[in-house]
Structures are given as structure tokens and as C-alpha cells.
Chains A and B, each alone.
Chain A
Amino acid sequence: MYRYDAYDQKLVDERVAQFRDQMRRHLAGELSDDEFRPVRLQNGLYIQRHAPMYRISIPYGHLASRQLRKLAYLARTYDKGYVHFTTRQNVQFNWSPLEVIPEMCAELAKVEMHSIQTSGNCIRNFTSDPFAGVAGDEHIDPRPWAEILRQWATFHPEFAYLPRKFKIAVNGATEDRAVIQVHDIGLDLKKNEAGEIGFRILVGGGLGRTPIIGREIESFIPWQHIITYCEAILRVYNRYGRRDNSFKARIKILVSALGIDEFRWQVREEWAHIKDGPNTLTVEEVHRVADFFEDPSYENLLADDAGYHHHIAEDLAFASWVKRNVRAHKKPGYASAVLSLKKPGVAPGDITSDQLDLVADWADRFSFGEARVTHEQNLVLADVKQSELFTLWQLARKAGLATPNIGLLTDIICCPGGDFCSLANAKSIPIAAAIQERFDDLDYLHDIGDIEINISGCMNACGHHHVGHIGILGVDKNGEEWYQVTIGGSQGNSAAIGKVIGPSFARAEMADVISEIIETYIEERHEDELFIDTVRRIGLEPFKARVYAERQPHKKVANV
């Protein structure tokens, strides 16, 4: 994992000092709300329903055990004893009073953490594959590149006041687990015929009000040029992105307006001036950063641990956890374990301080002191010996972190919604809860198999509803909360935007609606066919017919 040197530390410390002073001036009335707003936003601080919401950056989702403990401590000391992991691999506090934020910021800096650029119209946290470095299908480890780019973007003086927020994701595996197709820039590491490393670059993807799949701007940019190329994209966007209407200010709107060919032409024109300039990466720098991500000291183990297989055979509950929550590892005898933050009854992505401390202990004991955050809002211990999985499972089970539902219907991605967020049209957490409650039979869940339900409380799409196999979107209808359902969205290599099935539903109907969709799938599916494949094969109609058959359709909500 990357460790700060004196220079990284100094920048973070300087931010703490700067923010402390800004907060002091704000509280003293020298910095108006309007001026304080972008300042606090670039430091991850929103003002929300109940209190400020404070978002902390977790670069490409990597956390060391001491960082987990620090989060636990902060939640206990300054918040209500729990935190929320987000779809962008970050973590949020929901209840901390404004005045203590600089103190929290200072505490974070002690463990090489910060909240820099976690919000605001700037380059946000870089996200990547939670299984980076351990996945069997990885051709290039994305983490050194994400770290190099993180440094380039941090306090970038030219791109701090962009038309709108800017999100970049990096993938280095065959299967895209970083959702690069719905990012402002999606970077796909690859090798060319000569075996040289470079990037396929997608641009203009995004969810929100206008969901769009990113388009390819370059099929291969050699690694040396990745900073200058990104800089060219950002400069064109900063100069020509729309600033008159914040709903039309994302880069995707610019790319659509110009067309990808014209946009590419403008970027290349800009790039021609800066290519080969000082920002061209050096082998030395790439090696320096890559050294931090070398494999930990794995033991040489047998591919299959006998004890582990014995436990699987003997213990059904363990077997079902292994089936859903344990992933193969590139190293024989090792595995990655996903700790589910989707226990029914708990808001998706939430975790208490006590649980965080336990995860930190397990990270130390079983996984070289590290954990990762997934954009599905779960945690991963990436490097666990097969022989220790049973012990880990027993501990996790006791702590409520071993729900065997990864990738199943109850592994719901969900934004904070109306319970916390002042932009919400509707609550989202109670919908997740109702669905989890409805589908409480594990055998049935396993029978339904892989399916992704994503819920957002408004069209900002923090819950990625467009790319859920089933997407649920909170809409406002004359001041009432309604929910619109989409089917057929997906993330990954075949990313797609889901289609609306029809008029929206009242909250009380939502569990029924999901049941009816699932029943339709069960009736229609071919043997071993996943939900999404059935949808792709038979289309929306059978689902619509079923859902609306016995339902008096509510009046359609215009354009939402």
C-alpha cells in the first residue's frame, strides 16, 4: 500500500492548517456562507438535513488497519458511532458538528488520510478495482497508476473550479470492476502488440440526470503520456464545458454536444502542445510508486487447503458464505473474503465503530494489515489464507459482518436518500430494508442468484440506479414520495443503462413490485440463466405485464 513520505504529509498538513483557518474565519463571520461553500466542499463537507456530512477520501478504496481504527475512533468521538461507505469507495460521517471538522481533519492526517477534493467541482477521488493486485484476471495492477494520477490531481491549481465535478476510474483487469464506463474519464490499462503498457481512454460517461456510457477517445495512449493527455482533456473541459446550467455542466454534455470526433480533435490539438513536456512520466517515478504495491510476503501454499474443504463439506452455513463471499485469489492457497455491509436491517454501507475495530484486527491477523472498500459498499480482506477462512467467518458472523449475500438480491447499493440527504426526492434506505425483509429466505436468494438492485433517492444517481439490473429511483410527485423502476441496467464490461418499466409506485408497493419482477424471472428463465441475461433475452414486456397486471397504474410522472 502507498505510504506518505515527508512531501505527501506536508501537503496534507498544510491543508489541515488552511482549513482550520477557513473554518475559524467562517465562524467569525469573515467568510460568508457563499464563499465558505466551495471551500468546505473541496474539503468534503456538505451541509445536510441533520448536520454536516463529512466525506473522507479513500484512494482507490485501500485502507490500512490503523486507518480503520482511526475511522472507528472518529465516529465514536465526533459522531454517532457509525460511518457509511459510499459507491465511490469513500466513507462518510453523518452527524459531526461543523466546529469539530478541522479537528477530525487533523486526526485523519495523522494516519495519512484526508478529505481533499471529495466534493466540489474538482477532480474527485480516484476509484479502482477492489480486487486489484489479487484478481486472477488482472493484466496490469491499476493502483500505481491511480496513485500517480491522484498526486497529479491533488491541489491541481488549474482544475479546482471546473464547470462540474470530475470523476476518474482506473481498471487493469479483463472484467471491469471499477465501472469505468460511467466515469468522466475511464482508464483501461492494457498492453499493445509490442507489450508496452498504456491506456484505452473513455470519456464522458456518467450517471445523474443524463446517464451516458463513456465513449472511447483513444484506443491506446502510452503510459508516459497519461498525465499530459488527461491534462489536455481537463483543459478543454475547463475552458469549454457549460457553466450556465449546472445540470448541463458535466463533461458528458460537452462531449455529446461536440460529438466524440470533434472533442477528440480538440483534445489532441491541445495535447500536441504539452505532450513530451515536464509532465511526461518517468520510469523512475513509476517504479517508485509501483514498489509500494508489490505483493506482500505470501507463503507458498497448496492450491487447496484440506481443512478448508473439510469445513465447507461439514458446515452448510460456512459453505454458503464461501459460495457468495469468498473469491479466488491469484496465489495458491489464498482467497479474498468480502465482509458484507448489507445485513438486513442495517442501512447498506453502514458500519459501527466496534465493527471497524474488529475489521482492523482481522486485517492485521489475516490479511497483511489491509482492507479495501468496494463500490458496492462492502469491505474486502483481500489476502486471507484458505486455512484461516473458517476462523475469520466465525468471527465475522459474531460481529454481524458475514451475511452470505454478496452479489445476491439483498446486496443492495443504496444512497443515503431522504433520511439524510437534502437533495432527496424520496427515502431510499427504507426501500432497501423492505426488500431485504421480503427476501429473507436464503435458499430462495441463492436460487435467484446474481442480481444487482441499486437505489437512488433522486436523479443525482448516487446509488447508481441506472446501472442496476433493477434500478429504483425516488421521484417527487406533488410532494409525495414515489419510486420509478428500471430493468436491464448493468455495470462492468457490458455496462448498460436500464429502461423504465412504466409509471412509478408508492413506497408500500415496492417490495411487491420487486417480488413480481423476480417471480417473472423465475418463470421465464432458462436453466442457469442469470436475471440480467433473461432480461436481455425476453425484454421488458413480460415484466411490465406482470407488474402492472393487477395494479391500477398510477399516473405517470412526467419526465422523471
Chain B
Amino acid sequence: MSKVIQNGRIVSSDWQIVTVAEGEEAAAVAIPAGRVIVPLAAWLARRDELAARGDVGVWFASNEGPEALAADIARMPVIAVNFPKFVDGRGYSTAVLLRTRYGYTGQLIAFGDVLRQQFNYLSRCGFDTLQPREGRYSDAELDAAVANLNDYTEPYQASVLHPQPMFRRIARAGAKA
């Protein structure tokens, strides 16, 4: 079980993320029993079989967007977004769209190259669960990293976490104050 930060607390996640090996067909990948998160392609190829299980979530690769899952988003028990490299920022937009356009309110996991310096941005974009790569952080580091969720406590712009921008959220003093 992986250690993750969920809603600001370190917990063990029992969701198993099914990954696709080099050369393997995502649609044909072996899907074990239990709580699993499968690649989008697998879901799309075997939707009826997987939907019937009720314990299957979907993960998006960084070049995939919520559009492809639209009809099923509301019923997902969990959705995850892969960050193959932390510099690949497409997953932030994926999260924002899931939360704001597709009305997804369930658990949303960022996994892969998920680093402390991104925690604040990731959570503001709507990820409630951050799953750094296995072994990336020691327990002590992960403990300390929880604080990074709050790197910026009162940001300017609207986001999933702050639906109103600062200029609507706070009465700010002006030049003449």
C-alpha cells in the first residue's frame, strides 16, 4: 500500500494503479480484483465489464483529457492523473476541468512525478490526494511535506480550492487607505 497525502493527512491508499508496460496494449492489460485504477484506454475498451464491478476507477495519462470519459465521470469511485515528469503540467488542467466542468466531486489522485514543490498548486487545482513516487520521500520528509500544501495561503486567483479570486474574496484596501 502506498503512502499518500489525502486531504492534508498521511494515509495508506488501498487503490492499486494498473500501469501499462512498454509494448503492452492498454486495452488488454491484466486487471486484478479489488480496488483498482485502470488506464483510460482499458476502461473505454472494456467499459461494461469494468463498470459492473463498481470498484474500478480510471487514470488519465498526461495527454488525455476528461472529454473521453465524460459520460462516466460522475459515477467514478476515484480518478487519478499521471504526471510522468513533473515539468509536464497538462494534468493541472485535467484536474481543473474535472472539478469545474465535469462536476466531479470524488477522490482525485495525482501520481507519478509528484513533488513537494508542486503540492500547493496541485491541491489548488483540485487534487485531494497526492501520491509521490514510491520511495521518493522518507517518512520524515513526507511528514514535513504536508506543510507545503499551504505554501501560499491566500492566493490571488480563483482555483478549485478558492472558487473566488482574491478581489471577490477579500475587501482589499486601496491606494487611499
Contacts and interface: CB of A to CB of B under 8 A. Distances in A.
A116 B52 CA distance: 49
B121 interface: yes
Contacts of A285: 167
Interface stretch (A134-142, A150-158, A379-387): A150-158
Contact of A11 (B118, B152, B170): B152
A534 interface: no
Contacts of B19: none
B93 A291 contact: no
A294 interface: yes
Contacts of B174: 287-288, 291-292
Given A158-B96, A238-B93, 8 more contacts: A5-B173, A5-B177, A7-B156, A35-B117, A152-B157, A155-B157, A157-B92, A284-B167
Contact of A156 (B154, B157, B167): B157
A contact residues, range: 35 or more
A265 to B, nearest CB: 16
Contacts of B141: 30
Given A7-B166, A152-B165, A158-B93, A18 B155 contact: no
Given A121-B87, A162-B89, A157 B165 contact: no
Contacts of A7: 154, 156, 166, 170, 172
A161 interface: yes
Contacts of B153: 10, 14
B176 interface: yes
B118 to A, nearest CB: 8
Nearest to A273: B101
A35 B115 contact: yes
B125 interface: yes
A294 B150 CA distance: 35
Contacts of B92: 157-161, 238
B106 interface: no
A49 B173 CA distance: 45
27 contacts: A7-B166, A18-B151, A22-B117, A30-B141, A35-B86, A35-B115, A35-B117, A38-B86, A38-B117, A39-B117, A155-B155, A157-B122, A158-B93, A158-B96, A158-B159, A159-B92, A161-B88, A161-B89, A235-B93, A239-B65, A278-B158, A279-B158, A288-B167, A288-B172, A288-B175, A291-B176, A294-B175
Interface in B114-130: 115, 117-118, 120-122, 124-125
A430 to B, nearest CB: 35
Interface in A483-520: none
Interface in B124-167: 124-125, 141, 148, 151-159, 163-167
Nearest to A294: B175
A243 interface: yes
Given A10-B153, A152-B165, A285-B167, A161 B87 contact: yes
Contacts of B172: 5, 7, 288
B90 interface: yes
Contacts of B124: 157
Interface residues of B, number: 42
Interface string A11-42: 10011001000100000001000010011000
A555 interface: no
Counting from the closest, the 10 A-B pairs by CB-CB distance are A161-B89, A157-B121, A285-B167, A157-B124, A291-B175, A288-B174, A151-B156, A292-B175, A158-B92, A278-B158
A398 interface: no
B175 A3 contact: yes
A219 interface: no
A282 interface: yes
Interface in A278-306: 278-279, 281-282, 284-285, 287-288, 291-292, 294
Interface of A: 3, 5, 7, 10-11, 14-15, 18, 22, 30, 35, 38-39, 121, 151-162, 227, 235, 238-239, 243, 273, 277-279, 281-282, 284-285, 287-288, 291-292, 294
Interface in B73-121: 86-90, 92-93, 96, 101, 115, 117-118, 120-121
Nearest to A120: B87
B46 interface: no
Contacts of A151: 156-157, 166
A278 B165 contact: yes
A18 B148 CA distance: 8
Nearest to B159: A157
B168 interface: yes
Nearest to B115: A35
Contacts of B156: 7, 11, 151-152, 154-155
A18 B116 CA distance: 11
Contacts of A282: 167-168
A127 B78 CA distance: 43
Given A30-B141, A35-B115, A239-B65, A11 B154 contact: yes
Nearest to A6: B173
Given A157-B125, A239-B65, A282-B167, A38 B155 contact: no
A273 B170 CA distance: 25
A25 to B, nearest CB: 8
A272 to B, nearest CB: 11
Contact of A155 (B96, B101, B122, B152): B152
